Structure 1
């Protein structure tokens, strides 16, 4: 009993000597900018941009983030994937009576609603980023999106990244919405940016996209095309004689 009471007193003294966290104490803001940027580098870009609302100090950190990564798949909630599984379930799709058809129709409505919401959220983030273009430098831009009518913001963001942010690497992946035939994403007829001769773009990967005009991109040395029709890339070497690497993946 005496030994136990002595041990309890020792533990109480030890705890009282340890520094106690003050309620509301902001330990994260005490970190250096380099460490905060390292933390932000592990988050998705939409979350990184949202941290700019925390304080004046945080507002400037996203501008120093050199990699932008927007993926529609990161926005879709787990419920979306559950509806996909239900729609593909042979026990549901195999029903020929009204109950099975109603379940399939209900699943499809939810799937399309979540896809529309995800694209609206992605478009909103892309537009806000394009509007706040000044004072940013980006080394890599990755975009994954659904091929819908609401993709003008994607073209604008890519153009801003090349013209204003001097981006070196761009990845654009256009995905068809569920249960629909592939629809290729189209870039403006004038190309992917407004000033191709001043472009520093070195690497471009396009998946599910029609090949845009690339004349004038003298720094472009790596081109990766995926799910692209043959007619789109037949003259690629004429348009880009400086290319050193060309990858064709699942092209036809």
Structure 2
């Protein structure tokens, strides 16, 4: 009997073997890194060895939206549509939303406090911390959590996003210890946050992203960023508000190290890029109410310009002036992306005043259906070193007007230029239609080094970040035999008939 009991005990011990703890650390890291933060931290309940692995995650995302009940999102959607109409019901719904936010923040603060403040076996190491929360009456609670994370975990990249609360409140970002400020390399302030004070104390800050800054922020605070943060290399200003009528933001920092600047739909009246000697990457999303003045940008190489223009008269007069002024002040630019958005879009055809001697790649996207071929032709002839030209005309449901290739080709032969372009290798055009044959014939006749032509009836541009893109063609309707023959005849009549032609 004693021997039988020992055999049974050995079997029970073998069946209770902790195989999860037997997994190697590298495999556990691969598994936890593919999980979201909340799930990865919950794996500590699986086995003892799993409890210490999530401490080594390179990034932690702590979001209050992960613990909000499903009916909260439905309530927010109703209130955004100004529903319900009954005032008493609307007040009751607002009270319910406020209670959900309060309960979620209580659970959020309790969980994050236990994660950061309470002692752990072993030291947690994390590089990036992303926080999303509602502003509460105790504004210093989150600041204490941030200070503990930067001090104890070694966090250098910090992202703080404040959600709109009921009633609305503004979060004030404060890190009391200057020693902790000097450790932060990257700082992102999103949505209903006040402008971070004393930025001169963040001596090591290299990346700063400000999004949805309130209108109470003075416009002088934005250019002061370059003076207060001498090592700042990346600055993004997105949807930043300004209540002042004459808000002129001047970036004049000849000693600045700023290499990347993104300006996206900020409510400034004038943006003056006066002197930024190290700026290499610039992205601007401009509306018809914003004027940009381009000064000295000698190092600018990669540019993304988006014109959000709605009114016809404004586009015709101001839109082209903005573009011409910019193209005349960027001598070192090699990569250019130009995009037009809005209901009524048009640019008066006018070549740049100065040549773009170093431009290699050019994308002109979302062109109006009634665009004039003389405008991109002017850009082509102003860029003698251009190697890649990509053009995107958005698809339209309206029927295409009737054109005859023959009459169009006769006109283009009469306009054949005497000078040629000797560097263009690739032409990709999405949204090609019959009326674009004149421009195609022009390119084929002047580009002596052309190697590849891709023509697509429909397609879209896939953006890889802000300064790179990929042309994705879609076969809207098959090419007819006559159309293919006409296009091939165009190419064969040019100076380089051995061109790879792709029709989609």
TM-score of Structure 1 vs Structure 2, range by shorter chain: 0.7 to 0.9
Equivalent runs, 1:66-215 vs 2, <5 Å: 66-87=58-79, 93-94=84-85, 100-132=86-118, 135-178=123-166, 180-181=167-168, 183-188=169-174, 191=175, 193-196=177-180, 199=183, 201-207=184-190, 208-210=192-194, 211-215=196-200
- The Cα of 1:105 is off from its aligned counterpart by 3.3
Aligned-CA RMSD value: 2.8
Which structure shows the higher helix fraction? 1
- The Cα of 1:143 is off from its aligned counterpart by 0.4
Task: Report the CA distance shift for 1:101/1:123 in structure 2 as closer, same or farther (over 3 A).
Answer: same
Partner of 2:35: 43
Partner of 2:52: 60
Unaligned 5+ residue runs, structure 2? 1-13, 242-504
Unaligned 5+ residue runs, structure 1? 1-21, 95-99
TM-score (norm 2): 0.40
SS at match of 1:174: strand
Which structure shows the higher strand fraction? 2
SS at match of 1:171: strand
Q: Deviations over 1:153-185 (max 9, x none)?
A: 32122212222222221100112214x44x321
Report the number of matched residues.
220
SS at match of 1:70: strand
Task: Give 1 or 2 for the bigger CA radius of gyration.
Answer: 2
Aligned counterpart for 2:225 among listed residues 211, 236, 246: 236
Partner of 1:12: none
Task: Report the CA distance shift for 1:249/1:197 in structure 2 as closer, same or farther (over 3 A).
Answer: closer
Q: Deviations over 1:75-123 (max 9, x none)?
A: 1121212333444566x523xxxxx444323322321221111111111
SS at match of 2:129: strand
SS at match of 1:241: coil
TM-score (norm 1): 0.75
- The Cα of 1:23 is off from its aligned counterpart by 8.4
User: Relative contact order (C-alpha < 8 Å, sep 6+): which is higher?
Assistant: 1
SS at match of 2:133: strand
